[in-house]
Structure 1
Amino acid sequence: MKRTVPILAIVVMFAGGLHAANHYDDKLAELLKTRPNGIVRVIIQRTVPVNAAHAAEISNAGGRVVGELDMIQAQVAFLPVSQLERMAANPTVKNISIDDYVQGQAGQPYVVSGAAKAYDAYGVTGKGIGVAVVDSGIAPHPDLKILKAVDFVDTTRAGGYDPFGHGTHVAGIVAGSGAASNGTYKVYQQHHRGHPMGDP
Structure 2
Amino acid sequence: MAAICVFCASSSTLDQKWIDLATGTGAEIAARGHTLVSGGGRVGMMGAVADGARAGGAHTLGIIPQALVDLEVADLNADELIITDDMGTRKNLMVEHSDAFITLPGGLGTMDELFEVWTTATLDLHARPILLLDPEGFYDGLLDWLAELASTAFVRRAALDQLIVTRSIGDAFDEIEKRLVQ
**Normalised-by-shorter TM-score class:** under 0.3
Per residue, is there more helix in 1 or in 2? 2
Q: Which has the larger radius of gyration?
A: 1
Q: TM-score, normalised to structure 1's length?
A: 0.20
Higher relative contact order (CA 8 A, sep 6+): 2
